[in-house]
Each structure stands twice: as C-alpha cells, then as structure tokens.
Amino acid sequence: MSRALMTACAVLLVTAAFSQNAKELTQKGKDLYEKREYVESLLHLNKALEADPNFAAAYYIRGNIKDNFQDLHGAMKDYSTAIEKNAKFTDAFFARGNVKMKLQDYYGAISDYTACIGLNENNIDAYFNRGKAKQFLQAYEDAINDCSKIIQLNPKNQDAYFLRGTLRLEFGDTKNGCLDLSKAGELGDLHAYEVIKDRCNQKGEEAN
C-alpha cells in the first residue's frame, strides 16, 4: 500500500471517528457507565457534547457519574443543563431531586419530584421520595397522601405501607400506623415487625 493511500485511509478513519454523532457517543458512554468504566464513559460523553452541546442525555449521564462520586454540585449543574435542553426530561428532574435531598434542600427536592410527577403521574418513585422529603419537613398529612397514591397505583408496595405507617405514628395515628406496618410485614418487610414491637405494643396502645 502506498504512503499516500495509507495517509488517506488514516484521514478517513479519523474523520469517521469524529463524525460519530452525539447519540452514538452518548450511548457508548452510557454502556461504559453501566460497566463502571467511568473515565472512558466521561471521555465519550464529553465528545458527545462537543459534537452537540444541546444533547440533554449526555449531560444527564455525566451527572449520574458525578453523583456517583459525590460531586453533588457538579451533578446538579449537569442535571439542570439537561432540563434546560429538554424541559420534559423526567429522569433529570428525578435525579436532581435526589441530589437536593442529599443536600437537605427538601423544598427544592419536592419541587423537582412534583415536576417529575407532572410529566408522569404514575411515577411511584417520585411519589415515594417526595413523601420522604415532606417527612423531613414534618408535613405528615401531605406525605401520607403521597404514600396513599402509591398504594392506589400498586396495592402491594410494601415500602409505601412501611413509610405511611411510620408517618402515621409520627403524626399520632397509632392505630392506623400500626395497621400499615402490619401490612408491610405481611408483604415481606420484616423490619416492620421490629417497629411494631417497639412502637405498637406499648401499654395503653392498641393496633386493632
């Protein structure tokens, strides 16, 4: 093969590599992220954003990597940019809400989970985490309502029964709280029975 032909082939290969579109690069970055090959994943995501600075999915996955390494503010910035590029990016709202929870910005987290639910009213995880955020703010009735919505969507969700049970105990509704914990235990959450033992069988309290 002549030197000129070899050079031409090399140029074509380099051109092909750089011509990969943002979607392909992001998919490769996602695959590497799921394999926990974070450095290579970041390189592909950065290339994706060089190819298309408006590609929301690349920001989102890069945010996941930063979150994984506890770079919470960096992760939030990427999630926010993903939302700026795609205002209906449900997963980005949810992920940003989770970061805000870690930073104890419970009002901000509730706002993001609410946006997430607005885009998908059947998002059980968003209802659950919003309920947890409301619990931190002692907004017990609202948190209980979120758990009840989950149970309406999935009557066998043991986590929702457990959370609603603990919320009702904290709110002072011992009877219904203990019944919820009993249901959680029935569905397989054995930790619920430990709470029942500690909180529901005290003298003077009845769970039936």
CA distance 180 to 87: 37
Compute, in degrees rounded to 10, the torsion defined by CA atoms 75, 81, 86, 91. Answer: 10
Specify the pLDDT at position 5. 45
- Structure confidence at residue 102 as a pLDDT band (50, 70, 90): very high
Residue 207: band (very low, low, confident or very high) from pLDDT cuts 50, 70, 90: very low
Spatial CB neighbours of 166, under 8 Å, sequence gap ≥ 6: 177, 181, 195
CA 170 to CA 158: how far, in whole Å?
18
Structure token pair of residue 50:
């060089």
Residue 201's pLDDT is 83
Evaluate if residue 205 carries a pLDDT over 70: no
pLDDT at 2: 53
Q: Which residues are within 8 A (CB) of 189 and not within 5 positions of it... i.e. 6 or more apart?
A: 158, 159, 161, 162
pLDDT digits (tens, 9 = 90+) for 119-178: 999 999 999 999 999 999 999 999 999 999 999 999 999 999 999 999 999 999 999 999
pLDDT at 3: 53
55-72 residue pLDDT tens: 999 999 999 999 999 999
Angstrom distance (rounded) from CA 87 to CA 205? 49
Domains of the chain from N-terminus onward: 138-208 (1.25.40.10)
Over the stretch 1-47, which tens digit does the pLDDT of each residue have? 555 444 444 434 433 444 369 999 999 999 999 999 999 999 999 99
61 touches 45 (CB < 8 A)? yes
The secondary structure element, H or E, covering residue 163 is: helix 158-171
